[in-house]
Each structure stands twice: as structure tokens, then as C-alpha cells.
Amino acid sequence: MCTPKALARQLGVTPVIWKRHLVIVERFDWDSVTQALEGKIVEVQTASRSWDDFTARFSRLAAWEFEDYVDDE
């Protein structure tokens, strides 16, 4: 649970709040959101050892088509 005041305080410290499947910004701006997303992708990619590791880590942040994917082979 989080109050609007708590979100406002946190947005005063950081321009983007990342939660599971949720990105919170004070004001929507395509360029800022794109830059934040690209930065997060690089951060997760740098910490990952493989594509599978990347997808496992990134799926904690964003819902996407491979979230529940299981390779049957």
C-alpha cells in the first residue's frame, strides 16, 4: 500500500519508480520514459549472464509476451 503523498515524496528523489509491471512517473513524456526504459534494459542486461537470465530478471519489472513461456523441447 502506498499513499499519493508517499509517491510524491519518492518522485521528488527519483524521476521514475519501478514496481512489478508498473512504471510510475510524475508527468508522462515519451522521451523521458523511453530513456528510463532503455537505461533499465541496459542495467538488467549488464547483470545478466544469458538471454534466459535476462528474461527472468526483466520479467520481474515488465509484463511481456514471454513471461510464462516454457520451452517444451
| pLDDT score recorded for residue 61 | 85
3-state secondary structure the chain: CCCHHHHHHHHHHCCEEEECCEEEECCCCHHHHHHHHHHHHHHHHHHCCCHHHHHHHHCCCCCCCCCCCCCCC
Tell whether 21 is covered by a domain: yes
Q: Is residue 63 part of a domain?
A: no
**Residue 32, domain extent:** 4-58
In this prediction the pTM is 0.71
Q: Is 43 left (phi over 0), alpha (psi -120 to 50) or beta?
A: alpha
pLDDT string in tens for the chain (73-residue length): 889 999 999 999 999 999 888 889 999 999 988 999 999 999 999 999 999 999 889 888 887 676 667 777 7
Residue 46 has what pLDDT?
A: 96
What does the pLDDT read at residue 51?
Answer: 92
> What is the tally of structural domains in the chain?
1
Q: Is residue 67, in this structure, part of any structural domain at all?
A: no
pLDDT of amino acid 40:
93
Residue 69 belongs to some domain of the structure:
no
Q: Does residue 64 form part of some domain?
A: no
Residue 47 lies in a domain: yes
Asked if residue 35 is part of any domain, the answer here is: yes
